Amino acid sequence: MNASRWMLTAAVCTALAACGGSPDQASQQQASAGKPAAPATAAPAAAASATAPIGIDIAGMDTTVRPGDNFFDYTNGTWLKNTAIPADRSSTGAFLKLYETAQKRTAALIEQAGKSNPAEGTHARKIADYYAAYMDTQAIDKAGLTPLKPMLSAIDGIHSRDGLAKVLGSRLRADVDPINATHFHTDHLFGLFVTKGLDEASLNIAYLLQGGLAMPSRDYYLSDDPAMKGFRDKYRDYVTALLKQAGAKDPAADARTVLALETKIAQAQTSLVDSQDVHKADNLWSMRDFAKKAPGLDWAAYFKAAGLSDLKQIDVWQPHAVTGLSRLVASQPLSAWKTLLRFHTLDRYASLLPKPYADLAFDFHARTLQGVPQQRPRAKNAIDATSTDLGDAVGRIYVKQYFPASSKAEVETMVKNIVHAFDQRIDTLAWMAPATRAKAHEKIKTLRVSVGYPDTWVDDSSLTIKPDDALGNHLRAEAFEYAYQKSKIGKPVDLGEWWMTPQTVNAVNLPLQNALNFPAAILGAPFFDPKADPAANYGSIGAVIGHEISHSFDNTGAEFNAQGKLSNWWTPEDLKHFQQATGKLVKQYDQYQALPGLHVNGEQTLGENIADVSGLTAALAAYHASLGGKPAPVIDGLTGDQRFFIAFGQTWRSKMRDAAIRQRINTDVHAPAPFRAETVRNLDAWYKAFDVKPDEKLYLDPAQRVKIW
């Protein structure tokens, strides 16, 4: 199954959590400048000589940096100095290490499938054939644009607004961005998204989301930033070159048309911050409402072509955008729409077209927009494509071979400990009224946590994969995913449904299901090692777990009750306190500067930042509880809390190209990794562990430290 199976999500992407008090903290000596702290009262000798792996990279630290001045550099400074970003990547770091492990494992599975000569129709056969077709560049070159001929011919055949509506409807797909699910940035004018209704207790409904852009976000078209203007110039050159390659008569004029129309689309779109507001997304329109509320597009023709004409209603996530985009369908020349659709078709599938197309697409999307100087080996792209379009097929085999029951059981125990710690912390919140506290406890009690892989898999037996039809395989996988999503509309919600494949290095919170998914691939070193020191495991994967739990209570998750229904369960006073605390976090992140003149958007990243602070707090409390009242051992001169926080800082180990940083700031709800590592400055325990003083740069007055959960 296609790995683009997502919903209203709060994904890790680059995330963590921890904090809380324990008897162990009282026995910690504070750190001296440039050196890790040692305990004031020595731990027992046996504990100090612990034989378990420490789980953190001491050699990668830079202890000449004071932890309170720059915790990211303190925990990662030597690694940063000695590490180069691979030429075929936009970044490198701890997440890449896990990703590369997952990719190597997936590559081995694919190789094994190819050698075993599996029977037709089996998962192994589909995996082997998909990969073989992707790697068959001779067949791809020979086919040229032939696989796209039906789509291109349909575009050429547009002679009326009704015809345009039919083509636009036929292109509707369910490929919502996995990280920013409510921010559908794709070339299709709209995107489909199927899950439980915001006000619906048990049934799936359809959501319509904005789209229409080939660059990463509306800011790339509208920003006055000189760098963004430069990207627009490069984009115009790219559109020209791609259309010229396809035989356009006047590609330069066509490129100007594309950029002009996409700029109008960007102006009509809703901002990322507004798109995250679930109250603004609660807009159930009847099928008749579309003609009244969004005139311009022949909606009857559109929905018929999209296979949705039998629906009674659809939730319109960004109504302002849907109205504006529909107006553009009526006001802009048919010739402009046809030019745009031709380009979008070529651009969307360029990686599976002959080499000149693929090279042009890489040059713009990777080299220009993300600063990547060199293409990855085709085999690596083939592995990723196979794992995406055949996500569950690969996942079934992946977990059998690489995720033993022992690892699943150990992570599940850690999850239970952190959930329990979070639940206990609710009772410590003096500001929270009893009524609100009871609702919070209820939500924790009904939280569904899934580790490693789903209980049930999607049946992909109807998906046809051929060993000599790379683009056709991808198109059929897209169509299969779309049909699967449509089939869920009006059906009972499966609260155990997964929205990530087991081989995905990520984790996700699903507010509408009140559920968490922790795929197998993220549950490995350096984030989790069953043989390693518990302090490191709780500081790393434990913080990830705490982060995802906390998403159930961030600025979006807190809007949903224990049944995953949009509901205000706060007293007015509690809500005011929550908003004041989160407001301080917005201001804190607004001050971070990712590049000269380019600041983090505290409002845009608020949900992730809340989850980082709260999750880190819960993970530390769980670590302390796991000690069973005994003092944490001192290992390599580091106390338990120090190892915990260092592990957290190293989980965010990352080095990213400037262009990629700029793209993240403009498109992502997660702050860049270095600032996520600085989450520690909100935890009192961190100040004690490293003896952070008021003259150090990260120091916050206790009143300014953000404490939410």
- CA 43, CA 48: separation in Å to the nearest integer? 7
- Angstrom distances, CA of residue 297 to CA of 160, 165, 191, 324, 698: 11, 6, 15, 10, 53
* Domain residue ranges in the chain: 10-100+419-447+500-704, 145-352
Q: How far apart are CA 492 and CA 628, in angstroms?
A: 43
Q: At what angle do helices 391-402 and 94-115 cross, to 10 degrees?
A: 100
Residue entry with tokens 């979070």: 422
Alpha helices (H) in 427-508, listed in sequence order? 434-446, 470-488
Q: Which of 362, 365, 329, 112 is nearest to 231 (CA)?
A: 365
CA gap 76, 53 in Å, rounded? 19
Give yes or no for a contact between 390 and 131, defined as CB atoms under 8 angstroms apart: no
Where does 233-360 show beta strands of DSSP type E? Answer: 284-286, 313-316
Record the tokens describing residue 55, joined without a space. Answer: 């789980």
CA dihedral 43, 47, 50, 53 (to 10 degrees): -70
Q: Which residues contact 31 (CB under 8 A, 6 or more apart)?
A: 37, 67, 642, 689, 690, 691
Distance CA 294, CA 134 (A): 41
Pick from 680, 647, 679, 677: nearest CA to 57: 647
With CA atoms as reference, report the closest residue to 188 among 291, 325, 315, 280: 325
Q: How many CB atoms lie within 10 A of CB 621?
A: 26
CATH 1.10.1740.10 assigned to domain 145-352? The reply is no
The phi and psi torsions of 316 (rounded to 5 degrees) equal: -95, 105
Taking domain 10-100+419-447+500-704, whether its CATH number is 3.40.390.10 is answered by yes
Query: What does the DSSP 8-state code read for residue 633?
Result: P
SS3 category, 520 = helix
Show Cβ contacts of residue 87 under 8 Å, excluding neighbours closer than 6 positions: 372, 373, 374
**What is the DSSP pairing of strand 313-316 with strand 204-210?**
parallel
Residue where the block lists tokens 């009006």: 490
DSSP string, 54-72: --S-STT--TTS-TTT-HH
Closest CA to 330 of 152, 191, 158, 164: 164
Strand intervals (E) in 549-627: 593-595, 598-599
Instruction: Tell me the C-alpha distance between 173 and 162, whole Å.
Output: 20
Token readout for 41 is 């009262």
Block means of pLDDT (10 residues each) for the chain, length 709 residues?
36 28 28 31 31 85 98 98 96 94 95 90 95 98 97 98 98 68 65 91 92 95 95 98 98 98 97 91 96 98 98 96 98 98 97 98 97 96 96 95 90 92 91 93 94 94 96 97 96 92 92 91 90 94 94 89 89 92 96 96 95 96 95 95 98 96 94 97 98 98 93
Enumerate long-range contacts of 700-708, CB under 8 Å, 24 or more apart.
704/584, 705/681, 706/581, 706/582, 706/584, 706/585, 706/588, 706/613, 706/682, 707/581, 707/613, 707/617, 707/682, 708/553, 708/578, 708/581, 708/582, 708/585, 708/610, 708/613, 708/614
Phi, psi dihedral angles at 428 (to 5 degrees): -90, -5
